[in-house]
Amino acid sequence: MSNFNYKDYIQDHLLNINGYKSLTYPKELSDFIKLDGNENPYGPSNKVTDALSNRNDYQLYPNSIDELKQTIADYLNVQPSNIVCGAGADAVINLIFSSLKNNYDDMQLATITPTFGMYKHDAMINNIDIDELEQEINYRPNGYYFDVDAEPQIALIFASPNNPTGQIMEKDSMLKLLDKGHMVIIDEAYIKFSQYQSYVELTKEYSNLIVIQTFSKWAGLAGLRIGYGIMNEELASTLNAIQQPYTITNYAMEAAIISLNDTEYLNDNVKKIIETRNNFINQLVDITNITPIPSEGNFVLCHLNKGANTDFHKFMYDKKILIRIYSDAILAKYARISIGTTDNMQKVLNAIEEWDKK
């Protein structure tokens, strides 16, 4: 027997990390209404599924990413050299974090809480200290505000719209941070569902701004894992140079390119989701025991005015409706419900009405 102890080899900060709790759902979903992952209920364009079913190149490594970058660049009116692609926005965020200095005297990272759990997770695995500024969970018409007086410069990451609160980040607040020279990363995973404009255009003016987007939500491609960041050319070049090769499959690349050439279909679905979301929020107004928070995303965070979130989750699960609840104290009285098809949201509402009267 050797005396091998893995702790002698693994970096200390990695030893006690509880992995990110990813979704676990029944393999056979046909009976279920899946509203726990902010996925797109309409799926991708039929042109995507047709094209992918005709591919037969499993044995090949993925082809160059240049065509995809050019297509995204044309779509967003930026240059391909401004783009870094990754296997989901998740991978782009982790790539950025992995490149940040992790000496606390040089660099700090900040965000708000509650927000997307991967920011904290990625900070931890990259040994970066992350400050989470608590935000009240309520609706603010101009979005949430963040200010900081820090020296030295820090990097900040915000989801706008934010998951799970559905709020955007106030533009003035972001401009202030940019003018102070901080590195600001805006995660626009849900921007298509928002009435507010993307900040991609601002990346031309601010070399310290990075905007992240994904095909997971509006294009219905969460399972194919494809996202990207838009940023100044030098930073993009550095990140592209340290990127693992071949993390984006030919399937994901083709699906993304076809999606950008079939935006009419996808935008119609986005419109349907927005309408369904707004109706759902209006219908919840009559429910005593649930208070919805107006949302700019394809989900609604609901305050539970009675019972434990686990009881509500179980009640909905027994009705074959999957929703998201959280173990964090700040979200103990909330549940997040993704927006499904109109028919399915009626079933959700019926279930909630029943729960309300229980």
Complex with ligand PLP: residue 214 or 269, whichever CB lies closer: 214
The least distance separating ligand PLP from the CB of residue 96, rounded to whole angstroms, comes to: 12
Whichever of 126 and 214 has its CB closer to ligand PLP, that residue is 214
143 or 351: CB nearest ligand PLP: 143
What are the CA-CA distances from residue 110 to residues 11, 214, 237 (Å)? 23, 22, 24
Minimum Å distance from CB 191 to ligand PLP? 10
Residue number, 71 or 163, with CB nearest to ligand PLP:
163
- The separation between CA 241 and the C-alpha centre of its own chain, rounded to angstroms, equals 24
CA distance 175 to 173: 6
Which is nearer to ligand PLP, 159 or 335 (by Cβ)?
159
The minimum distance between CB 214 and ligand PLP, in angstroms, equals 3
Taking CB atoms, the residue at the shortest distance from ligand PLP is 88
Q: Which is nearer to ligand PLP, 216 or 259 (CB)?
A: 216
CA distance 81 to 66: 10
Three-state SS letters, the chain = CCCCCHHHCCCHHHCCCCCCCCCCCCCCCCCCEECCCCCCCCCCCHHHHHHHHCCCCCCCCCCCCHHHHHHHHHHHCCCHHHEEEECCHHHHHHHHHHHCCCCCCCCCEEEEECCCCHHHHHHHHCCCCEEEEECCCCCCCCCECCCCCCCCCCEEEEECCCCCCCCCECHHHHHHHHHCCCEEEEECCCHHHCCCCCCHHHHHCCCCEEEEEECCCCCCCHHHCCEEEECCHHHHHHHHHHCCCCCCCHHHHHHHHHHHCCHHHHHHHHHHHHHHHHHHHHHHCCCCCEEEECCCCCEEEEEECCCCHHHHHHHHHHCCEECEECCCHHHCCEEEEECCCHHHHHHHHHHHHHHHHC
CB of 78 to ligand PLP, least distance (A): 19
Of 42, 51, 38, 41, give the one whose Cα is nearest residue 257.
Answer: 51
Residue 85: beta bridge partners? 228
Residue ranges in contact with ligand PLP by CB under 6 A: 38, 88-90, 116, 159, 163, 187, 189, 214, 216, 222, 227
Q: Closest approach of Cβ 38 to ligand PLP, in Å? A: 5
Tell the smallest beta-carbon distance from residue 156 to ligand PLP (Å): 14
* Between 216 and 249, CB nearer to ligand PLP: 216
**Among residues 86 and 292, whose Cβ is nearest to ligand PLP?**
86
Q: Name the residue nearer to ligand PLP (CB basis): 189 or 255.
A: 189
Residue 154 CB, nearest approach to ligand PLP (Å): 20
